[in-house]
Amino acid sequence: MALLEATDLHTYYGHIHALKGISLHVEEGEIVTLIGANGAGKTTTLKSISGLLHPRRGTITLAGRRIDQMPPHEIVGLGIGQAPEGRRIFPRMTVQENLEMGAFARRDGSIKADMERVLTLFPRLKERTNQLGGTLSGGEQQMLAIGRALMARPRVLLLDEPSMGLAPMLVELIFRTIVEINQQGTTILLVEQNALMALNVARRGYVLETGTIVLHDTAANLQQNEMVQKAYLGIE
Amino acid sequence: MQVTPELLIQVLLIGITNGAIIALVALGYTLVYGIVELINFAHGDVFMLGTMLSLTMVTWVPSLMGLRGAWLMPTPLLMALVLGTLILAMVFCGLLNVAIERFAYRRLRNAPRLAPLITAIGVSFILVNVGLHWKGASPVNFPDLLPNVNLLAGVLGLNTTVTFTLKDLLVILITVPLIVGLQLFVQRTRLGKAMRATAQDREAAQIMGIDINLTIALTFLLGGALAGAAGLAFGLYNNIAWFFQGFRNGLYAFTAAVMGGIGNVTGAALGGFVIGLLAAFSDFFFDPRWTQAVVFAVLILILVFRPTGLLGEKQAERA
Ligand SMILES: Nc1ncnc2c1ncn2[C@@H]1O[C@H](COP(=O)(O)OP(=O)(O)O)[C@@H](O)[C@H]1O
Ligand SMILES: [Mg+2]
């Protein structure tokens, strides 16, 4: 049984039919990537999983349990963490407070240790624990968004375009950290427009176009796929 | 009028006491605006109903005991009556505010901003009319509960004409701890942090595991409870209850909240004291009939020259 499984999702914004029957699954321990052009429905898929949007049709299960009609705060408690598109960190809270908010759903005592773990993963945040989130650079905000999501100790981490707007060196750093987080045991569903980097770190990938999945294969096969090369990797 | 240091101190004391009451109401505006970006025009009228309920309590309980007034009750019972009335007014106004949010504002949360604003004005009309039917059209006397003892000359034996009575002290004892307590609540507690997070980014708060419906309800509960306490304090201090009192005092408090940078909790508290002092000085040294105009001129000046408020520079990051 897959850890996370979505079957035939149809999600709407009012009358706009944004997802037209998306099915995907993520196995325990995997990095799976969802690639596609701007407006394909990647963010809508993640928001449907995290409960910010509710699909009108279809089901989502986490470890066999239906979550598709649950409110987002309950879904976090069951083990889905998210670093949303645009980072969405709390601008008037310090780095430390932002990380503490990430652990909001937890009641156990090991939050300090996880804070240490996150600050070891992102040493740049460690130097800035008392700085307000709104004053961080884009790259630092992205690190904080990922770190904040990790503070919930998610079973599945949803990452929405973590490389967006970052300088190439920072993109490298973020992707290396994503692999490290995965090796430490967190399953990852990675949404990216940067298909090149995403397919390098992922095991499998889905290609999304206008609300439907047009391709699903191993990352290695997708890298060799002619259509993917043309449309997403810039190879003629 | 001869301006003496004693007169200045007297006006200062009046300004601070009134300011504390305004600050309590201002906190309700700012908390609610901070979290749902709604100027809750009904808030002043929740405060008015707090005064009405307090008035009912302090007249009805003594009459049950066969007394002509609360001031005839034995001191321990009187203290219990004041405390009980305070708690009741806070609970009543808090729950009223929660109900208003639940039934009038919640379903409009994602509607264009004008819709909840107009709804708030509608709720305000309803509450004003409740007040009108409850206590009539004329201002009603809010009885003195405590003996009229001047603490400075009478108790401390100071050689001064400045008066600071037992009643003034009671008003300070009701208002100031609540103002300070709210600051601590918002800064230090888990729920306070949930409120701040929801105010800064509602969607991000949700994926942290925060139940935003609960958090927004809690915010209305706190704002309403503070308005309830302010309602009792207002009645005690001014010896008056009037169905239309929420309008003027609500606007004063709203001005205080704007002055502090709407959404800014510390700013609203400070703004309350500033408006209280401004009104007191205008009353004494200018003309009480002009005080409203002075306060609203200040509101307009702030909105024109410093729309983020005097402390509100952080608002710029909101977007
Ligand atoms: N809030 C919204 N209201 C209406 N339509 C939206 C909204 N958000 C996204 N959409 C539409 O849904 C589709 C999918 O968007 P999205 O999931 O954000 O795409 P992606 O993340 O792949 O760029 C697009 O056509 C977009 O215009
Ligand atoms: Mg997107």
Taking residues B47-70, what's their average pLDDT?
94
Q: Residue B258 pLDDT > 60, yes or no?
A: yes
Give yes or no for residue B317 having a pLDDT over 70.
Answer: no
Q: Is A40 in the pocket of ligand 1 (CB under 6 A)?
A: yes
> Of A3-12, A27-36, B141-150, where does mean pLDDT reach its minimum?
B141-150
Q: What ipTM is given for this predicted complex? A: 0.94
Name the residue of chain B whose CA is nearest to A103's CA: B208
- The answer to whether B66 contacts chain A (CB < 8 Å) is no
Of B190, B200, B212, the CB nearest to A90: B200
A13 lines ligand 1 (CB under 6 A): yes
The least confident of A220-224, B34-38, B130-134, B315-319 is B315-319
Q: Which amino acid is at A132?
A: L
Please give the domain boundaries of chain B with CATH numbers for all domains: 5-305 (1.10.3470)
> Which residues 6+ apart lie within 8 Å of B249 measured at CB?
B21, B22, B25, B44, B47, B48, B234
Distance from CA of B92 to the nearest CA of A (A): 29
Query: What pTM did the predictor assign?
Result: 0.93
* For range A38-49, the mean pLDDT: 97
For residue B314, the distance in angstroms to the closest alpha carbon of chain A comes to 8
Which chain A residue has the Cα nearest residue B195?
A101
Evaluate if residue B97 carries a pLDDT over 90. Answer: yes
* Domain edges within chain A: 4-232
pLDDT at site B228: 98
Q: How far does the centroid of ligand 1 lie from the alpha carbon of residue A215, in Å?
A: 20
Query: Which of B191, B208, B265 to mutate: most A Cβ within 10 Å?
Result: B208
Q: What pLDDT does B319 receive?
A: 26
Read off the pLDDT of residues A138-167 as tens digits, 9 standing for 90 and up: 999 999 999 999 999 999 999 999 999 999
**3-class SS letters over chain A:** CCCEEEEEEEEEECCEEEEEEEEEEECCCCEEEEEECCCCCHHHHHHHHHCCCCCCEEEEEECCEECCCCCHHHHHHHCEEEECCCCCCCCCCEHHHHHHHHCCCCCCCCHHHHHHHHHHHCHHHHCCCCCEHHHCCHHHHHHHHHHHHHCCCCCEEEEECCCCCCCHHHHHHHHHHHHHHHHCCCEEEEEECCHHHHHHHCCEEEEEECCEEEEEEEHHHHHHCHHHHHHCCCCC
Establish if B212 touches chain A: CB-CB under 8 angstroms.
yes
CATH architecture group of domain A4-232:
3-Layer(aba) Sandwich (3.40)
Pure H helices in B189-211 = 190-200, 202-206
- Of the pLDDT bands very low, low, confident and very high (cuts 50, 70, 90), residue B313 is low
What is the B205 CA–ligand 1 centroid distance (Å)? Answer: 21
Which atom from ligand 1 is nearest to the alpha carbon of A47? 17
Which pLDDT score is estimated for B318?
A: 36
